């Protein structure tokens, strides 16, 4: 029963009937602004309303009034619903942060998968007054005290309705090659999750995975839905990644996170509590990463973070995580500047000094190189870090970097043929490529120029380890030597690549192994004290130890991994199949 005021009430069945009739007449949006929104949303699930906006936890009247005003002011002026919600959240954050620091977290949107983009209907000149009256009338509804929302385990939370998800919406661009049937099952599963029908959601996610097992987001949502269906006690880890900007790397990381979640939960959880994952799209943007870190720090349910896809984003967000005393484990961020950056920052991946040492020693001792040209991206913290570390180590051995070439902002612009010729004129006898992911195509141009001008041996950083290098680099890349933290053919835990191959029906990369290890490290830290302080105290303990795909995981005083693993690989072509692949070689 919903109490409207002191005299009037409304049953859920009456509400459902009324909304059903309205939906048949074209109702597009329901706003449950100050009520038990999740419970009501579940009760009206069969109505199939295109959009429902609700609050994820108890909300004060002041916040409810302000939200509806900000939302309708934007929405009634023609902004799409999602953008209007984002604007309202930003205004809540600006106007009420001091009194209600988490107010902008509260509003979320549930969208039916078949719903199109929703905008306020356009009115002709004669009906402008009607438009204004509708907005004013809707504003008046905020004063109706329907109740309080108390379900803190809402299926979504976040800064941006498109950026955060535990199962309601996909943050991964849906690839049509997965097949329409796969996409339909996944979309229906997300809609069921958002309505709280977790049993049906699980069935839909499983149907999608049966046809496309290599999608880690679907597997995470299935695991999250199982936690909700079983009403299990959970601990939440957030995973911010640039899913809309760097899909391949994000999926590789998510596979490790998802595999660890599934194995932990199937084994009974962490101290009896199951692992729930909150996915975040940071848009590969430093400002977004810092803001997300701030919001995650304010969310008491999040006890640890697996972050980020780049060193740049890690450096941009580490201060906010430190302020919130929220421990972060980085599976792929390698910049040396991250060492000692925060007491709360740890990483399972070796820092750039380790990779640079392996590459410099290989160049100097194995190749006999003494003069190298280094290509890098001045705008990337990762790329600059690796370049500096290599130059220092190569010089220590007796070599010399005769020329640096910036992929992006060189004085004369990037000209691969002229730059390589100039480097050769200075005596360069090896090419070293340290592109960040966003300039990888320019590294391929260097490879092409190298073929045309007479090949020099090439070495590269771990960002070059991806399928694009094999597909697009092709023959030009063959022979290149890379330093990575792990390779499946030399895994310290031989069971991990076998289990991964069975789960994903595909081979996995070093990013998957490092993210798998990051989750296992947090899980081990949680066993003694499942809290933020407990995680930090465990990870910072010199005696802390966990076992992962890449061996023993321990951290030193700087947050770096002790005895961090490195593995040299060479790009080769299989003479039998003709396929290009990464082959482990002796360091």
Q: Which residue in 200, 226, 196, 153 sits closest to 40, CA to CA?
A: 196
pTM here?
0.75
Q: Which residues of the chain have pLDDT under 70?
A: 1-14, 16-17, 20-21, 23-25, 34-48, 56-59, 97-105, 112-116, 121-163, 174-177, 410-412, 587
Give the DSSP letter of residue 25.
T
Domain map (residue ranges) of the chain: 1-154, 353-484+568-585
> What are the residues whose beta carbons fall under 8 Å from the beta carbon of 443, sequence distance 6 or more?
375, 407, 433, 435, 460, 464
CB-count exposure of residue 145 (10 Å: 0-12, 13-18, 19+): middle
At residue 437, the pLDDT reads: 86
Superfamily of domain 353-484+568-585: Response regulator (3.40.50.2300)
At residue 47, the pLDDT reads: 64
Q: What is the pLDDT of residues 470-502, one digit of tens each?
A: 998 889 999 999 999 999 999 999 999 999 999
At residue 136, the pLDDT reads: 40
Q: What sign has the CA pseudo-torsion 441, 442, 444, 448?
A: positive
At residue 115, the pLDDT reads: 65
At residue 535, the pLDDT reads: 98
One-character DSSP codes across 518-538 = HHHHHHHHHTT--SHHHHHHH
For 540, the 3-state DSSP assignment is helix
CB-count exposure of residue 7 (10 Å: 0-12, 13-18, 19+): exposed
Q: What is the pLDDT of residues 106-143, one digit of tens each?
A: 787 777 656 667 777 665 554 544 444 444 444 434 33
Rounded CA-CA distance 462/339 in Å is 18
Three-state helix/strand/coil letters over 471-498: HHHHHHHCCCEEEECCCHHHCCCCHHHH
At residue 162, the pLDDT reads: 36
Token output for 519: 């989750």
Rounded CA-CA distance 524/533 in Å is 14
Let me know: does 306 contact 239? Beta carbons within 8 Å. Answer: yes
At residue 67, the pLDDT reads: 86
At residue 144, the pLDDT reads: 33
């Amino acid at each position: 029963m919903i109490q409207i005021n002191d005299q009037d009430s409304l049953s859920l069945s009456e509400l459902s009937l009324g909304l059903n009739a309205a939906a048949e007449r074209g109702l597009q949006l329901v706003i449950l602004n100050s009520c038990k929104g999740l419970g009501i949303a579940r009760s009206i699930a069969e109505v199939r309303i295109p959009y429902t906006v609700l609050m994820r936890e108890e909300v004060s009247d002041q916040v409810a009034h302000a939200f509806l005003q900000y939302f309708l002011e934007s929405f009634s002026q023609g902004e799409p619903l999602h953008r209007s919600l984002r604007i309202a959240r930003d205004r809540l954050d600006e106007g009420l942060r001091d009194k209600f620091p988490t107010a902008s977290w509260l509003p979320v949107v549930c969208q039916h998968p078949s719903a199109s983009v929703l905008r306020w209907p356009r009115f002709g000149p004669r009906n402008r007054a009607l438009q204004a009256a509708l907005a004013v009338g809707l504003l008046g509804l905020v004063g109706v005290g329907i109740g309080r929302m108390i379900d803190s385990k809402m299926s979504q939370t976040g800064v941006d309705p498109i950026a955060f998800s535990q199962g309601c919406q996909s943050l991964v661009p849906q690839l049509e090659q997965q097949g329409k049937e796969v996409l339909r099952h996944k979309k229906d599963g997300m809609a069921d999750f958002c309505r709280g029908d977790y049993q049906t959601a699980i069935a839909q996610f499983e149907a999608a995975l049966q046809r496309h097992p290599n999608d880690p987001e679907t597997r995470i949502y299935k695991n999250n839905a199982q936690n909700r269906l079983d009403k299990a006690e959970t601990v939440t880890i957030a995973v911010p990644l640039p899913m809309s900007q760097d899909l391949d790397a994000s999926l590789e990381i998510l596979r490790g996170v998802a595999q660890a979640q599934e194995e932990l939960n199937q084994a009974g959880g962490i101290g009896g509590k199951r692992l729930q994952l909150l996915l975040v799209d940071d848009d590969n943007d430093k400002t977004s990463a810092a803001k997300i870190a701030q919001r995650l720090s304010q969310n008491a349910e999040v006890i640890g973070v697996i972050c980020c896809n780049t060193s740049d984003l890690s450096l941009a967000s580490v201060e906010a995580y430190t302020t919130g005393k929220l421990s972060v484990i980085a599976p792929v961020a390698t910049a040396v500047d991250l060492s000692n950056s925060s007491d709360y920052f740890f990483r399972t991946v070796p820092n750039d000094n380790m990779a640079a040492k392996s590459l410099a020693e290989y160049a100097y001792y194995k190749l006999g190189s003494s003069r190298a040209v280094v290509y890098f991206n001045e705008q990337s913290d990762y790329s600059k870090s690796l370049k500096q570390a290599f130059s220092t180590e190569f010089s220590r051995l007796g070599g010399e970097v005769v020329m640096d070439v910036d992929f992006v902002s060189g004085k004369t612009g990037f000209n691969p043929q002229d730059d390589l010729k100039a480097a050769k004129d200075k005596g360069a006898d090896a090419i070293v490529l340290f592109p960040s992911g966003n300039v990888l195509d320019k590294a391929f141009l260097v490879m092409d120029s190298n073929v045309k001008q007479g090949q020099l041996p090439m070495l590269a950083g771990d960002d070059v380890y991806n399928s694009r290098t094999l597909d697009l680099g092709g023959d030009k890349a063959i022979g290149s030597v890379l330093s990575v933290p792990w390779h499946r053919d030399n895994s310290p835990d031989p069971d991990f690549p076998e289990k991964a191959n069975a789960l994903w029906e595909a081979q996995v990369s070093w990013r998957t192994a490092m993210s798998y290890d990051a989750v296992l490290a947090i899980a081990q830290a949680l066993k003694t004290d499942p809290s933020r302080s407990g995680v930090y105290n465990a990870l910072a303990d010199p005696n802390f130890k966990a076992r992962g795909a890449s061996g023993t995981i321990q951290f030193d005083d700087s947050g770096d991994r002790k005895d961090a693993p490195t593995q040299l690989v060479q790009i080769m072509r299989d003479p039998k199949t003709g396929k290009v692949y990464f082959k482990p070689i002796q360091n």
